[in-house]
Amino acid sequence: MSHFPTPGRARCWRRGWPLALALIAGLTGRAAAQDEAVPWKDSFYPYFPSLGNNFPLIAIHFEERKAADYFARTPYAGLISLDLGTGFTGARMAVARLHTPLLVPHWRLAASLGTTRESRLGYYGLGNTTEFNENLVTESQPHYYEARRTRYFGNLELSRQLVGPLFLSAAGGIEHSNFGDLSGPSLFRTDFGTADLTADDVRGRIGLVLDWRDNEFNTANGIFLQASYGGGTGGDHYSRTSADVRAYLSPREGTVLAARVLGSSMSSSASLSTRFEVPLWENETSVLGGTTSHRGLAFQRLAGRGVLVASAEVRYDLLNLGDFGAFTLLGFFDAGRVFEEESFELTTRDMKAGGGGGLAIRIMRMTIWTFNFGTGPDGFQFSAGTGWAY
């Protein structure tokens, strides 16, 4: 995924964003009447996120947030944010987000609009049997396993609580993507015979979500399940079916055991860009490798029209400062594979396994930064992200 930052906060002012609040009111129709005693507050801070294989970016985060009740499942009822960043190798991002999980009873809205450019997108070919040969990365061809991808996108998802923890969601989006190679010989140019590959995608999906988590921001106990079906116009039109199951257990305060199984299958007619992310409820995850899918592989190390990944994780609070934050040690094991020529199936055959550890830093009830040190089939991998892997 390209990885969008988790909202945070460093400094607040009294002034508001009249246009932003007008947008919220227009989209919900009832925001002004929803707990007027809680003010919207704005803030901004600099940070250093990762965008695929581009790390770090120098970025700044602006936001307008309406705090939720202290014991609510999310730290905010509504949020508008803008993230702007640039990297040292030509990477960039400009992403605006709107998220209203508690602004209107029984309804949730998530929207994003922006552009990203990954100047070091990993491209190793398609399918589960692609190999990495470090001898092919030389001074004369330093970008042999890299490409450039630029995305312009807009996404909107509306969810309705049906009963208890059960939600029905409907999502739609539009994206323009462009791939290009970098200087010197590259596998991308060899596979596609061009330095420029463009595609447009108008997509939609419908899903069911069963959310028994005790907390969405920093889950300690619960079960989360989602399943969706959709499709798009990218390539020669395609369909996609996805499912994601997660479980969390806290045997003692400050320790969390988490596990996940995710699978997605897409028709072969889909465009190249759709093979690098799986859309999820109010988010997306990368295929396959990186902070949100497989930390023992480089970002987008494996790409295909189908993906299966299983993960297990231990989180142990080395220092817990309550509402002020925490320093958490991580231990993880990830295994996964992609499907390109073959059909998707639930299997352990040809899974690429990896594991490692890391450190997470939680800052108040605002953001979580993770730093992962893993190893897998291609050796040592470092990755950094915002928010838990799942």
Q: Tell me the pLDDT tens digit for each residue of 22-55.
A: 444 444 444 444 456 789 999 999 999 889 888 8
Q: Answer with the residue of higher pLDDT: 222 or 29.
A: 222
Q: What is the domain extent for residue 191? A: 12-386
Does 1 map to a domain?
Answer: no
Q: Residue 19 pLDDT more than 60?
A: no
Per the CB < 8 A criterion, the answer to whether 178 and 186 are in contact is no
Residue with tokens 């094991």: 333
pTM for this entry: 0.87
Rounded to the nearest angstrom, the gap between the alpha carbon of residue 261 and the centroid of all alpha carbons in its chain is 16
Does 94 map to a domain?
Answer: yes
pLDDT for position 6: 37
pLDDT for position 194: 77
Q: Residue 287 pLDDT more than 80?
A: yes
Question: Length of the chain in residues, anyone?
Answer: 390
Does 97 map to a domain?
Answer: yes
CATH number, domain of 214, equals 2.40.160.50
Does 135 map to a domain?
Answer: yes
Per the CB < 8 A criterion, the answer to whether 336 and 351 are in contact is yes
Q: Residue 8 pLDDT more than 70?
A: no
Q: Tell me the pLDDT tens digit for each residue of 63-111.
A: 999 999 999 999 999 999 999 999 999 999 999 999 999 999 999 999 9
- The predicted model gives 372-385 an average pLDDT of 95
Does 3 map to a domain?
Answer: no
Does 2 map to a domain?
Answer: no
Burial letters for 310-325: b for 16+ Cβ neighbours within 10 Å, e otherwise? bbebebebeeeeeeeb
Does 37 map to a domain?
Answer: yes
Per the CB < 8 A criterion, the answer to whether 292 and 276 are in contact is no
In angstroms, rounded to a whole number, what is the distance separating the alpha carbons of residues 358 and 29?
44
Tally of domains in the chain: 1
pLDDT for position 121: 94
Torsion angles phi and psi, residue 247, rounded to 5: -140, 140
Does 6 map to a domain?
Answer: no
Q: Residue 211 pLDDT more than 90?
A: yes
Q: Taking all residues of the chain, what is their mean pLDDT, rounded to a whole number?
A: 90
| pLDDT above 90 as % of the chain | 84
